[in-house]
Structure 1
Amino acid sequence: MSRLAAVTLALVLSFLHALPALALCGGRNLFEEMDPAKLASIRDAAEAVPFPKGNFWQAVRGDEVITIAGTYHFDDPRHQANLDKLQLFIADATTVLVESGPEEEKALMDLVAREPARMFITTGPTLFEQLPAEVWAQLSDAMSKRGIPGFMAAKFRPWYVLAVLAIPPCAMEQMSDPKGLDGMVIDAALAAGTPVRALEPYDTIFTLFDSMTDEEILAMLQSTLALEDRSEDHAVTLADSYFAGRSREIWEFMRQISYDLPGYTRAQVDAEFARMEELLMNARNRAWIPVLTQAAKEGPVVAAFGALHLSGEQGVLNLLRQQGFSLTELQF
């Protein structure tokens, strides 16, 4: 994976895996100041794939019913109104499916406790020694702004640094009890006595990054730092797009940014994005379909997972349609 992959990774991570809380930051929505022609191009590209809009759907095949909520993993007060609507379905569900449930979170913590080398550099050169001096200076400054001193950051695995950089400095103080809509759904299900199950194994995050070399991830880290000065703007743009039901536009927005990177052709950018979509979304979507359909045979299901998994040819909604489900958009 090339350096250009990092342009999308931080934003994608916020949809694809439970990261710590994001409070409302003081950034600007970049769509509001964008050239109208470029914005139209982004929206046209988003509209070109199946199911580009909407966060709340119901899939029905005979007696099988799956109510689907595309989620945003960061905290935001706007989640509460959506949860109020979802609770009506959670109360009647036989199962609630999420990316990672309480058992999986505990298993992940236990794994890290047993094998700290999954997240930390325990042998060999630290990031301070691996990175060029100017890149390390940028990284150390970025991590310090998030309350993590350089001597600690130097021992983080590069993928873990990428996950931390996905959180703008303005949100770090609100990390003590992260929820996001996923966590709120889990709490509501437990309160209602509805079983919560995971869509995928607890160690999926490691599987994703194990498919990349250290050199690739380090290169991604360097490129991610190039976006640091607008991290709050990106966070606000991402959140606003999600609550407008337009998460696919964020994917196309980052593609547009990548087109402007020096040294890359549009064909190279598109090839890289196809690879990332396969790795981070499509392969997981395909693996989730049997889990979703088997659960639906046992009774009504509520499924809550990152909103970027909904759209696209290999998105969950289109894959369910190919399995014979009829899809109806509901309103949050």
Structure 2
Amino acid sequence: MKRHIFRPALTAFFLSLTFALPLAAQECAGRNLFQDMAPGRLAELRAASAAVPYDDGLFWQAEKDGMRAILIGTYHFGDPRHAITMERFAPEIARAGFLMVEAGPEEEARLTEAMASDPSLIVDMSGPTLPERLDKAEWQALSDLLEQRGLPAMVASRLRPWYVAVMLGISPCMIRMTQERGDSGGLDGLLTESALAEGVPIRALEPWNTLFTLFEGMTPEEEEDMIRAAMPAARYADDYAVTLADAYFAGESWMMWEFGRFDAYEKSGLPRDQIDAQMQMAQEKLMDQRNASWIGPIETTAAEAAVRGKAIVVGFGALHLPGEKGVLRRLENSGWRISPIIVEGIGNGG
């Protein structure tokens, strides 16, 4: 089963105001950017992350009224360290009543078919082109970055801004390796494959077309600023890949959200209040709204499994776990008891 690259990339979008999760960091050369960070700045990032509920840790258990859910924060692209996670949780999947993921096989198939059959989903043939919307220097820099990612300027000029921002978050190395591999190799797919092998039913947390509705209602200015904010990090995307991979497997995924904020302050050329507004918009569209919509399906599915004396396993991007509006806090507010699951070899944060 070949999984479409752009669904998980969007789920992770905006992790530096672009947030795409990398392929195996060991396979794409780069440097962990935290190593070069001044101690004061690193302490500032850690403090900002620590102020967020459930800011670290990847694996959790939720229990309520005889229902049990195992929650796995995923990393959407391949890494050899996923083997540790799968060794721990494959038996849980085999015993589970259901596996829930952001998009199951049916949703992925419908998404891929839609993107192949309807170019207008990612291409805007009626509005002004990106060269017309950006100044000359911005378009030249953007077209160079997209050329590196296999998108000729003529094609890129008509792409929808949200799709451009997604592509900027994926390094050329990651794109090449995903194409060679045939899928993203991410943890979500490994969980799905395990469930399919065991005959465990799979349910999606959200409709297949969620991808195309997330950025509705943005103004042209917001769309253009989204691209501007993504461009600085795109120039050293392999370093972001390594940094993000290391943060994820240390259980510190929220650190990268804060890193993206401060990196945009320094390199995007946009004022701080504008960056903050974009970060808030991204959080609401990519996480908060979706988190809220997932709680009902999780509770309904957990109740159905509990009738048969079974738990459910739920896998979704790790950045959906933390925060006052994150999945863990929302479940807690709904009466679930939350506790961490420790997996030796994968960190539970700082």
TM-score of the two chains, using structure 1 as the length reference: 0.90
Specify which of 311, 316, 338 is matched with residue 327 of structure 1.
338
Q: Distance in 1 between matches of 2:154 and 2:37?
A: 39
Q: How does 1:82-121 map to 2 (within 5 A)?
A: 82-121=85-124
CA displacement at 1:37 relative to structure 2: 1.4
1:295 to 298, 301, 311: 301
Number of equivalences? 321
Pairing 1:76–2:79 present: yes
> d(CA) in 2 for partners of 1:110 and 1:229?
31
Supply the distance in 2 between the matched residues of 1:269 and 1:115 (Cα, whole angstroms): 33
SS in 2 for 1:312: coil
Distance 1:70 1:204, change over 3 A: same
What residue number does 2:221 align with? 215
How many Å separate the matches in 1 of 2:62 and 2:193?
A: 23
Give the Å deviation of 1:324. 1.4
**Percent of residue pairs identical:** 42
Whether 1:264 and 2:271 are equivalent positions in the alignment is yes
> What amino acid is the match of 1:309?
H
Q: Is the 8 A contact 1:7 1:258 kept in 2?
A: no
Q: Aligned with 2:214: secondary structure?
A: helix
Moved more, 169-178 or 63-72: 169-178
| Kept in 2: contact 1:295–1:301 (CA 8 A) | yes
CA drift at 1:272: 4.1
The reply to whether residue 50 of structure 1 matches residue 53 of structure 2 is: yes
The answer for the alignment partner of 1:28 in structure 2 is: 31
Say whether residues 1:166 and 2:166 are aligned partners. no
Q: What do residues 280-332 of structure 1 show as CA deviations (whole Å, max 9, x unaligned)?
A: 21111111111111111012110000000000111111111111111111123
SS in 1 for 2:236: helix
What is the letter of the counterpart of residue 319 of structure 2? L
**Residue equivalent to 1:204:** 210
**Match of residue 151 from structure 2:** 148
Contact 1:6/1:223 (<8 A) preserved: no
CA distance in 2, matches of 1:89, 1:6: 31
Preserved CA contact (<8 Å) 1:95 1:196: yes
* Contact map agreement 2:68 2:302 (CA 8 A) in 1: yes
2:323 aligned partner, one-letter code: G
Aligned-residue offset at 1:6: 6.8
Does the C-alpha gap of structure 1 residues 222 and 263 become closer, same or farther in structure 2, counting only changes over 3 Å? closer
2:234 corresponds to 1:228: yes
Matches within 5 A, 1:247-262: 247-260=253-266, 262=269
CA contact (8 A) 1:97 1:302 kept: yes
In the TM superposition, what is the alpha-carbon distance from 1:140 to its structure 2 partner? 1.8
Contact conserved, 1:158 with 1:217, CA < 8 A, in 2? Answer: yes
Counterparts of 2:321 and 2:172, CA distance in 1: 29
Output the amino acid matched with 1:75.
G
Query: Do structure 1's residue 240 and structure 2's residue 256 form an aligned pair?
Result: no
Does the residue aligned with 2:224 lie in a helix, a strand or coil? Answer: helix
In 2, the alpha carbon distance for the partners of 1:271 and 1:137 equals: 26
1:191-234 per-residue CA deviation (whole Å, 9 max, x = no partner) reads 11011111011111111122323432122212322222221111
CA distance in structure 2 between the partners assigned to 1:118 and 1:268 by the alignment: 27
The change in CA–CA distance for 1:153 and 1:313 in structure 2 (over 3 A counts) is same
Cα distance in structure 1, aligned partners of 2:211 and 2:231: 21
Partner of residue 318 from structure 1, selected from 324, 329, 332: 329
What is the aligned counterpart of 2:18 among 10, 13, 18? 10
1:259 CA displacement: 3.8
Query: What letter corresponds to residue 250 of structure 2 in structure 1?
Result: A
- CA distance 1:269–1:127, shift in 2 (3 Å): closer
In the TM superposition, residue 128 of structure 1 has moved relative to its aligned partner by 3.6
Instruction: Indicate if the aligned counterparts of 1:58 and 1:328 stay in contact, CA closer than 8 A.
Output: yes
Q: Equivalents in 2 of 1:270, 1:130: separation in Å?
A: 22
Rounded Cα–Cα distance in structure 1 between residues aligned with 2:171 and 2:277: 28
What is the Cα deviation at residue 271 of structure 1? 4.6
Q: Are 2:201 and 1:195 equivalent residues in the alignment?
A: yes
- TM, length-normalised to structure 2: 0.85
8 Å CA contact retained: 2:16, 2:263: no
Q: Which amino acid aligns with 2:120?
A: A
Question: 2:9 maps to which residue?
Answer: none
Give distance in 2, aligned partners of 1:83 and 1:153.
38
**2:101 partner letter:** V
Label 1:112 to 1:147 Cα distance change in 2 as closer, same or farther (>3 A).
closer
CA contact (8 A) 1:7 1:223 kept: no
- Structure 1 residues not aligned, in runs of 5+: 15-19
Query: For residue 273 of structure 1, what is the amino acid of its counterpart?
Result: M
Q: Deviations over 1:136-184 (max 9, x none)?
A: 2112211221222222222322222211111111212212322300011
Q: Partner of 2:286: helix, strand, or coil?
A: helix
Distance 2:177 2:48 in 1: 35
Deviation, structure 1 residue 94? 0.7
- SS at the partner of 1:89? helix
Q: Provide the aligned C-alpha RMSD in A.
A: 2.1
Q: How much does 1:264 deviate?
A: 2.5
- Which residue pairs with 1:17 in the alignment? none
